């Protein structure tokens, strides 16, 4: 048996709690709903669930604005419901990862309300307050990720406070020792309760340069890009002190058994890799790797992305891959449904921990949202840009009963228009479905550790095909992915000549045992 920790062997499944299952008829998902649907998660064959935030929140950013780090949002349930869910998850041999949002709280958090009340309040410096610039304007040129200045004027106390996201999400001051202790206690609280780890929201943001210098302007900015991109986030992100805190979080996690830290970090390879820390002073186990989302989808680009990423990893650093999230456009819409099957094979056979996003296992596309139903604050603030996150946050379609079995009432966001045929029940009974493919891939990974934790050797770059081998303990697999919609010949090496197709992404009779090396359009195969 492999002695690797579960987060290296396993697969993570992201649940967006508002949109998984509603159990109490308010049109919004909840914890009891998730518990009812654990069969789906278990039968998929994943190992861990990551829940987007479930804490009390005014929901200005749908839970990423936390008003109490140690409670449960009433819309989702309560601590008792959480404990029941955690026990049910563990009873199935699954792990539960929570979303920790350390960069900012809600402006409704009592800490902020207290600090806001007066300049001399002991909690004032738990957030980032600055005097105006000499002209009365904001202290510097930093821009919020959701557009507009990152500073909000507080007339009552005559200062600005910093918010990297919405003004309802004031940034916490991690340089303050008491705030730091209070936030680390939050991690302790949930680990004592039994959670298996955390996905840490915008970890690279948590400390700002002490000098609050202006950020440099981005010479490549054009009006079709988000306002945030106008300046490079040079002084507002990736500060050395943030790495110190990340190491402290790890030290704390390591006081417990088998807990994982996954950091949400957007940086070029070399700086990204530093978030692993060093063997002596480790930081997060998995700095999230979004490169399959951020880059073009063709054989040469993927080859370069994989090779460069692998080359950038420290020797002890374990890779990870993501193709979808609650922030990104749906993979099936971005590259087409046929290629999305190839993407599933890529994600589940690359070296590194995969994270699946709910609904991608059904091949759901970008769901059209009528203008009056748009909820995403990022979209509402920059309506001229094509950045609506609601379109990938829509409710899970479970079956073809009213509201797709998600809820007894009209859900908070519309369902995918094809929910009557594209739902879990329909796909579970269809061997050609995306769901069936995901289940097969996940079960192969489980039976053959080489596919999960084996070594990986990339073949040379090719215009149409991406080819790599995975091996461990005498087992060897060749993965060949056709990134194009043309049939493409694969020139087998001597060793590959005797291989047989173990699994194809093609719908229809999986051509098991086939020994031809012509890949059909949009076909991926695993050879053994």
Q: Which residue is nearest to ligand TEU (CB)?
A: 64
Residue 111 binds ligand TEU, judged by CB under 6 A = no
Q: Does 64 bind ligand TEU (CB under 6 A)?
A: yes
- If the CB atoms of residues 112 and 165 are measured against ligand TEU, the closer one turns out to be 165
Shortest distance (Å) from residue 115 CB to ligand TEU: 20
Is residue 458 involved in binding ligand TEU (CB under 6 A)?
Answer: no
* Subset of residues 238 to 267 that bind ligand TEU, contact rule: CB under 6 A: 264, 266
Q: Which residues are catalytic?
A: 201, 255
Minimum Å gap between C-beta 476 and ligand TEU is 38
Residues in 67-106 that interact with ligand TEU by CB under 6 A: 101
Nearer to ligand TEU, 76 or 165 (CB): 165
Residue from 161, 165, 275, 438 touching ligand TEU (CB under 6 A): that is 165
Indicate which single residue of 387, 408, 458, 528 sits in contact with ligand TEU (rule: CB under 6 A): 387
Output the smallest distance, CB 396 to ligand TEU, in A: 18
Nearest to 476 by CA among 493, 459, 460, 499: 499
- Residue 47 or 201: which CB sits closer to ligand TEU? 201
Rounded to the nearest angstrom, the gap between the alpha carbon of residue 502 and the centroid of all alpha carbons in its chain is 30
Report the distance separating Cα 374 and Cα 390, nearest Å: 7
Q: Long-range contacts: 129-137, Cβ < 8 Å, 24+?
A: 129/154, 129/157, 129/159, 129/160, 129/161, 130/159, 130/160, 130/161, 130/162, 130/212, 131/158, 131/159, 131/160, 132/158, 132/159, 132/160
| Tokens read off for 340 | 């999305």
Closest CA to 105 of 158, 190, 162, 153: 162
Interface with ligand TEU (CB under 6 A), residue from 83, 327, 337, 399: 327
- Nearest in space to 515 (alpha carbons), one of 495, 496, 501, 494: 501
Number of residues that bind ligand TEU (CB under 6 A): 14
User: Looking at beta carbons only, is 39 or 294 nearer to ligand TEU?
Assistant: 294
Instruction: Say whether residue 113 binds ligand TEU (CB under 6 A).
Output: no
Should residue 276 be labelled a site residue for ligand TEU when binding is judged by CB under 6 A?
no
Which CB atom, from 65 or from 469, has the smaller least distance to ligand TEU? 65
Q: Distance (Å, rounded) from C-alpha 53 to C-alpha 42?
A: 21
Identify whether the C-beta of residue 66 lies closer than 8 Å to the C-beta of residue 105: yes
Q: How far apart are CA 137 and CA 153, in angstroms?
A: 9
Our finding on whether 333 is near ligand TEU (CB under 6 A) is no
Least CB distance from residue 207 to ligand TEU, whole Å?
16
Cα 113 vs. chain centroid, distance in angstroms?
30
> Minimum Å distance from CB 313 to ligand TEU?
22
Nearer to ligand TEU, 64 or 438 (CB): 64
As a whole number of angstroms, the distance between CA 73 and CA 57 comes to 6
Q: How far is the CB of 213 from ligand TEU (least distance, A)?
A: 21
CB of 393 to ligand TEU, least distance (A): 9
Q: Under the criterion CB under 6 A, does residue 145 sit at the interface with ligand TEU?
A: yes
Task: Read off the tokens for 458.
Answer: 């990339």
- Does 201 help bind ligand TEU (rule: CB under 6 A)? yes
Question: Does residue 16 interact with ligand TEU by CB under 6 A?
Answer: no
What sections of 194-317 are H helices per DSSP?
240-254, 269-273, 291-294, 299-312
Q: Which CB atom, from 187 or from 519, has the smaller least distance to ligand TEU?
A: 187
Main-chain phi, psi angles of 447, to 5 degrees: -75, -30
- Smaller CB separation from ligand TEU, 127 or 165: 165
Specify whether the CB–CB gap between 475 and 450 falls below 8 A. Answer: yes
> In DSSP terms, which residues pair with 353 in a beta bridge?
320
In the complex with ligand TEU, the residue whose CB is nearer, 105 or 484, is: 105
DSSP SS3 for 18: helix
Site for ligand TEU in 417-456 (CB under 6 A): none
CA distances to 59, 112, 206, 376, 403 from 108, in Å: 11, 7, 19, 19, 33
Least gap, CB of 143 to ligand TEU (angstroms): 12
Interface with ligand TEU, residue 413, by CB under 6 A: no
Residue 461 interacts with ligand TEU (CB under 6 A): yes or no = no
Residue 146 Cβ, how far from ligand TEU at the closest point, in Å? Answer: 7
- Cα distances (angstroms) measured from residue 59 to each of 200, 291, 316: 18, 28, 38
Q: Which residues pair with 471 in a beta bridge?
A: 455, 476
Sole binder of ligand TEU in the list 67, 202, 231, 284 (CB under 6 A):
202
Token code pair at residue 289: 């790797």
DSSP percent split of the chain into helix, strand, coil, nearest 5: 35, 15, 50
Q: How far is the CB of 145 from ligand TEU (least distance, A)?
A: 4
- Of 112 and 477, the one with the shorter C-beta distance to ligand TEU is 112
Q: What is residue 503's three-state secondary structure? A: strand
Task: Enumerate binding residues for ligand TEU (CB under 6 A).
Answer: 61, 64, 101, 145, 165, 201-202, 264, 266, 326-327, 378, 387, 389
């Amino acid at each position: 048996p492999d002695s690797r920790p579960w987060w290296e062997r396993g697969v993570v499944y992201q649940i967006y709690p508002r949109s998984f299952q509603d159990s109490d008829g308010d049109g919004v998902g909840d914890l009891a709903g998730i518990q009812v649907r654990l069969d789906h998660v278990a039968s998929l064959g994943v190992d861990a669930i990551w829940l987007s935030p479930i804490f009390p929140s005014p929901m200005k950013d749908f839970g990423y604005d936390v008003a109490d780090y140690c409670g449960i949002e009433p819309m989702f349930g309560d601590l008792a419901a959480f404990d029941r869910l955690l026990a049910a998850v563990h009873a199935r041999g699954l792990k539960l990862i929570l979303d920790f949002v350390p960069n900012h709280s809600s402006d409704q958090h009592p800490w902020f309300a207290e600090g806001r009340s007066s300049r001399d309040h002991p909690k004032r410096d738990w957030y980032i307050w600055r005097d105006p610039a000499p002209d009365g304007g904001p202290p510097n040129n930093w821009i919020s990720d959701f557009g507009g200045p990152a500073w909000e004027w507080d007339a009552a106390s005559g200062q600005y406070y910093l918010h990297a996201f919405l003004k309802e999400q004031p940034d916490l001051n991690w340089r303050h020792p008491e705030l730091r202790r209070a936030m680390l206690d939050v991690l302790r609280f949930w680990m004592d309760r039994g959670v298996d780890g955390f996905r840490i929201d915008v970890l690279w943001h948590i400390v700002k340069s002490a000098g609050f210098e202006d950020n440099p302007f981005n010479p490549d900015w054009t009006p079709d890009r988000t306002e945030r991109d106008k300046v490079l986030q040079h002084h507002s992100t990736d500060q050395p002190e943030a790495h110190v805190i990340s190491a402290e979080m790890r030290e704390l996690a390591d006081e417990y058994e088998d807990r994982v830290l996954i950091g949400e970090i957007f940086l070029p390879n070399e700086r990204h890799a530093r978030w692993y820390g060093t063997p002596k002073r480790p930081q997060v186990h998995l700095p999230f790797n979004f490169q399959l989302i951020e880059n073009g989808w063709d054989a040469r680009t993927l080859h370069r992305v994989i090779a460069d990423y692998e080359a950038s990893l420290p020797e002890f650093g374990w890779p990870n891959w993501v193709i979808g999230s609650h922030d990104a456009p749906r993979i099936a819409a971005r590259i087409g449904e046929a290629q999305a099957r190839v993407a599933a094979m890529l994600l589940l056979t690359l070296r590194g921990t995969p994270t699946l996003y709910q609904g991608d296992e059904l091949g759901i596309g970008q769901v059209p949202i009528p203008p009056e139903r748009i909820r995403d604050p990022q979209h509402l603030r920059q309506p001229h840009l094509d950045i609506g996150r609601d379109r990938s946050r829509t409710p899970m379609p479970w079956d073809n009963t009213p509201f797709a079995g998600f809820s007894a009432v009209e859900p908070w966001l519309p369902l995918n228009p094809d929910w009557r045929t594209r739902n879990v029940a329909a796909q579970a009974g269809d061997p050609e479905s995306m769901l069936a493919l995901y289940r097969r891939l996940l079960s192969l990974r489980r039976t053959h550790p080489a596919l999960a934790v084996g070594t990986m050797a990339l073949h040379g770059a090719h215009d149409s095909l991406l080819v790599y081998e995975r091996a461990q303990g005498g087992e060897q697999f060749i993965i060949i992915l056709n990134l194009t919609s043309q049939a493409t010949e694969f020139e087998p090496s001597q060793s590959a000549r005797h291989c047989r197709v173990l699994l194809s992404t093609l719908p229809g009779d999986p051509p098991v045992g086939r020994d031809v090396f012509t890949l059909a359009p949009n076909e991926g195969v695993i050879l053994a």
